[in-house]
Structure formats: C-alpha cells, structure tokens
Structure 1
Amino acid sequence: MEKELIKIFDYARNELGVADREEVHKQGYWHEVFHCWFLSKDNNDNNLILQLRSERKKENPRLYDITAAGHLLANETVQDGVREVSEELGINVTFEELQPLGIIDYCSIQGSYIDNEIANVFLYQCHVPIEEFILQKEEVAGIVQVDFNYFRELWTGSKDEIRVVGYEIKQDGSKELINKLVGRNQFVPHPDGYYKTIIQKIAEKIN
C-alpha cells in the first residue's frame, strides 16, 4: 500500500519537505489538516453535528469528534480538504459554502503519538438531515447532534455531561439510535484551548 505523503513544517510554519504519515506522528512534525464543523438549526436552537469515530481507527476509536476532518496530502491545497466531507459523510459540499474560522496550531501527545497540527478550520451551516448522511465505515461509526450552548458549557466547565442524540451504524448495516449523556472523556482529547477557541469562533458566526 502506497504511503500517504504529507508536507511538514517547523513551528514558524516554514516548509521543511515531506514525510509519510507514520513518520510525521513519530517525529512530531508540524503538518496541515482540514477541520470542518457542522452546525444545524432546529427551530431557534443551534446544534453541532459530531462524528463518532470508527472502532477501526488506530487513534481515538469510538470517541466523538469534529464533524469531518483529515490530513492535507503533500499535493493538496486547503481547498482540496473539502473532499473529507464527501468521503466521510457522503454529502457534497463546495469550498465556497464553508465559513473560515481561522488557522489553529496545537499539540496533542498520546504516548509515542505526537500530533502537531496546523488546523485549517471551517464551519458549514448544514441543512441536510443527519439521517441522510452516508458514513464511511472505515472512518465514521455514527453521527450525533448536541445543543451548541450545552457543548460550550461542557468545555467551560459549567457542565460535566451533555446529551448527544443521533445514530450508530452497526455491523449488519442497521442504525441504532443514540440518546445519552456523555462527558469530556468521551471526546477526542484535543487540547481544551482548541475546543474553547472553536466555540468562541462559532458563537461569533451565530451572533
């Protein structure tokens, strides 16, 4: 299997060359990723749409995460990152439909896995019901919605648990409904600063 090559950078975002994905995370090279958060409206309520990562994922399986995200390959631009939406969720979104939330640098270390990301972050105002998403089973096990204000309260410490509602795709292809309380430990451990920055930037778009 051909290895994915990714552009690598120093902390000042000076390009150093390319490396394969395994080496990027072994050595802790800075690299570019694409993050797309979905927001939907239900009457006057704003809901974030989150993915449940597949149990097949090497890192952070079965944790809730950004709606769609992935590495930018060495030959890709930020605009090419929108492919992650169609690949993971099965819906077509153009780059022009996305609202930029900025570039966020952050570091996450889990054992020998070092994730130094230059995250190009976007918001998509979604009008497609989550039941119509076609999930990439190798990447995404399920989709849930959460009230944006509750999500904010979770990451500012006002709440310890929030309710997520959606579904999970089982091995036989059937959908199992999700309606439960989850805590911070059931989300991918991005640094708290990342979540707080995202929440602030999304709140600015809502207001």
Structure 2
Amino acid sequence: MSENEVLKIFDENYRQIGTETRQRIHLYGLWHETFHCWFYTITDNELTVYFQKRSSTKKDFPNQLDITAAGHLLAQETVIDGFREVKEELGIDVPIEKAHFLGVFPVKINLGHFIDNEFTNVYLIEQEISLGEFQLQEEEVESLFSVPLKMLKKLLNDPSAKATLTGYHQKNNQQEVIEECFSKKDFCANAQSYYDRLIESFEKILENQIRTID
C-alpha cells in the first residue's frame, strides 16, 4: 500500500473525524482502522494458529511473523472490504459467512519514528492451509507458519523461549516445506494486550470445542 493512499481517521471513541494519508497517520499517531484475519485449526484437542512471515523487502517489519492476512482499510472501504486482503496476500477465497467476527481491538504502538494507533477489526477463520492450496503475494509475504497455541503463548510471554516451526515458503511461485527457529523478537510489533486478548479468545474456542466433544 502506498504511503499516499488515503484512510479514514477517528477519535478515540471510534467516531470518524476525517481522512488523511497513511504516511501522516503513522507520523502523528492518528487513529485509523485495519482488518485482521487469523486462520486456525483444531486437531486432537490442539489449536494451531497460522502466521505469515513478511517479505524481506517490506518497508515496515521485514521478516517478522504477523497476522495470517491483514491490511489497512482505505477511505472508501467498509470493514467487510478488508477480506480482499485474504485473496491478495494468500490467494485464498473465503466466504465471508465462514468468518467469525471477534471484535474491535484498539491497539497503540509507539516506536518513535512510527506511531500506530489502530482500531483492528479482528476475524477468525477455522481452515487448514495446505501446501499448494494458497498463492502468496510474494512482495508482501514470503512464508506461512503454523504455531500451536501453547507454544505461541510461551513465545510471547517468555523472551528467552525459542521454537522451531514448520511452514511453507514460496519463491517465484514455487512452494516448499521449511523449518525456522523463532523467538519473541521475531513477532511483528503489536500491543501485548492485543496478543493477550487474542490468545484468551483462542483458549475459549478450544475449551468449548473440547467440552462439545466430551
């Protein structure tokens, strides 16, 4: 997305107050809205979350693990229009009715040169992503990794923890299975409160699934 593209801006109560360029939004920390879509699976009472690894050529947070598919919403777009990101980044068509709306998570990140105040509209999709069943937008995404929920919780709460994850890498439209070692520093910058709320939501989903089976 170009730094000159125009997004809606909001007050702290999520009321629209105007529009501004993406560049000025991150320069001055203006509130704006984004779309987040997390893919996950549940197998043998274990929940696994998919992360994308951002391309090494990305201006912001290259080579970092990030939301399965996500993006900023343009001024003329609705939240539902955000599902274009799933198709663009992953090459996967997802019926909107298959997605579960988790809610709006306010997120505040200040890295000095980059101030990000977002209203993140978070969706969940229970769907396995298998080799050959996706097509990555390589200038944006270079790999997909699956992270078991218990391991994700450990990685995000213990900076010394490390894990070797299995994933799918794509280059020049060729896909292969890979393994890489990650720790907390390899996750894209996000508010800890966001990850805490996300993990809590996944834990409730898993608990309900197990209870239903039992």
What is the TM-score with the length of structure 1 in the denominator? 0.91
| Deviation >6 Å, runs of 4+ | none
Who is 2:49 aligned against? 48
User: What is the CA–CA distance in structure 2 between the aligned matches of 1:32 and 1:47, rounded to whole Å?
Assistant: 26
User: What is the CA–CA distance in structure 2 between the aligned matches of 1:100 and 1:204, rounded to whole Å?
Assistant: 15
Shift of 1:23: 1.1
Who is 1:119 aligned against? 120
Asked if the contact 2:36–2:71 (Cα under 8 Å) also holds between the matched residues in 1, the reply is yes
User: What is the CA–CA distance in structure 2 between the aligned matches of 1:191 and 1:125, rounded to whole Å?
Assistant: 24
| Deviates further, 158-167 or 75-84 | 158-167
Who is 2:138 aligned against? 137
Shift of 1:167: 2.3
Which aligned pairs between 1:140-151 and structure 2 lie closer than 5 A? 140-151=141-152
1:177 aligns with 2:158: no
Who is 1:8 aligned against? 9
Residues 2 and 34 from structure 1, CA distance in 2 versus in 1: closer, same or farther, beyond 3 angstroms?
closer
Who is 2:92 aligned against? 91
User: What is the CA–CA distance in structure 2 between the aligned matches of 1:56 and 1:146, rounded to whole Å?
Assistant: 24
Asked if the contact 2:34–2:119 (Cα under 8 Å) also holds between the matched residues in 1, the reply is yes
Query: Cα deviations across residues 145-194 of structure 1 (Å, max 9, x unaligned)?
Result: 11112112222339712332112223x44435322331000010112111
User: What is the CA–CA distance in structure 2 between the aligned matches of 1:78 and 1:205, rounded to whole Å?
Assistant: 23
1:32 aligns with 2:11: no
State the SS of the aligned residue for 2:115.
strand
Amino acid at match of 1:62: N
State the SS of the aligned residue for 2:136.
coil
Asked if the contact 2:159–2:183 (Cα under 8 Å) also holds between the matched residues in 1, the reply is no
Who is 1:78 aligned against? 79
State the SS of the aligned residue for 1:190.
coil
Amino acid at match of 1:54: S
Amino acid at match of 1:98: A
Equivalences, count: 206
Q: What stretches of structure 1 of length at least 5 have no aligned partner?
A: none
Amino acid at match of 1:169: Q
Query: Cα deviations across residues 72-103 of structure 1 (Å, max 9, x unaligned)?
Result: 11111111111110110001012211111111
Shift of 1:203: 1.6
Amino acid at match of 2:205: K
1:59 aligns with 2:60: yes
Which aligned pairs between 1:187-198 and structure 2 lie closer than 5 A? 187-198=187-198
Residues 151 and 120 from structure 1, CA distance in 2 versus in 1: closer, same or farther, beyond 3 angstroms?
same
Amino acid at match of 2:17: L
| Deviates further, 125-134 or 80-89 | 125-134
User: What is the CA–CA distance in structure 2 between the aligned matches of 1:158 and 1:100, rounded to whole Å?
Assistant: 30
Query: Cα deviations across residues 109-160 of structure 1 (Å, max 9, x unaligned)?
Result: 2231111010000110013414421000111011111111211222233971
Asked if the contact 2:42–2:206 (Cα under 8 Å) also holds between the matched residues in 1, the reply is no
- Identical amino acids, percent of aligned pairs: 38
User: What is the CA–CA distance in structure 2 between the aligned matches of 1:82 and 1:199, rounded to whole Å?
Assistant: 22
Asked if the contact 2:3–2:23 (Cα under 8 Å) also holds between the matched residues in 1, the reply is no
State the SS of the aligned residue for 1:13.
coil
